[in-house]
Amino acid sequence: MVSDNPEFKKIYETSDEARQVINLARKLEGTNKTFGMHAAGVVISDVPLEELVPVQKNNDGTVIAQYYMEDIAYIGLVKMDFLGLRNLTMIDKAVKIIKKSMTSTSYRI
The C-alpha atoms of residue 72 and residue 30 are separated, in whole angstroms, by: 21
Residue 27 lies in a domain: yes
Q: Based on the domain organization, do 7 and 55 belong to the same domain?
A: no
Question: Has residue 24 got a pLDDT over 90?
Answer: yes
Higher pLDDT, residue 39 or 16? 16
Give the model's pLDDT for residue 28.
85
Share of the chain above pLDDT 90, in %: 23
Question: What is the total count of domains within the chain?
Answer: 2
Question: 6 and 49: one domain?
Answer: no
Judge whether 67 lies within some domain. yes
- Domain assignment of residue 68, given as a range: 41-103
Does 29 score more than 80 pLDDT?
Answer: yes
Tell me: do 96 and 48 sit in the same domain. yes
Query: For residue 37, what pLDDT band results from cuts at 50, 70 and 90?
Result: low
The pTM of this model reads: 0.45
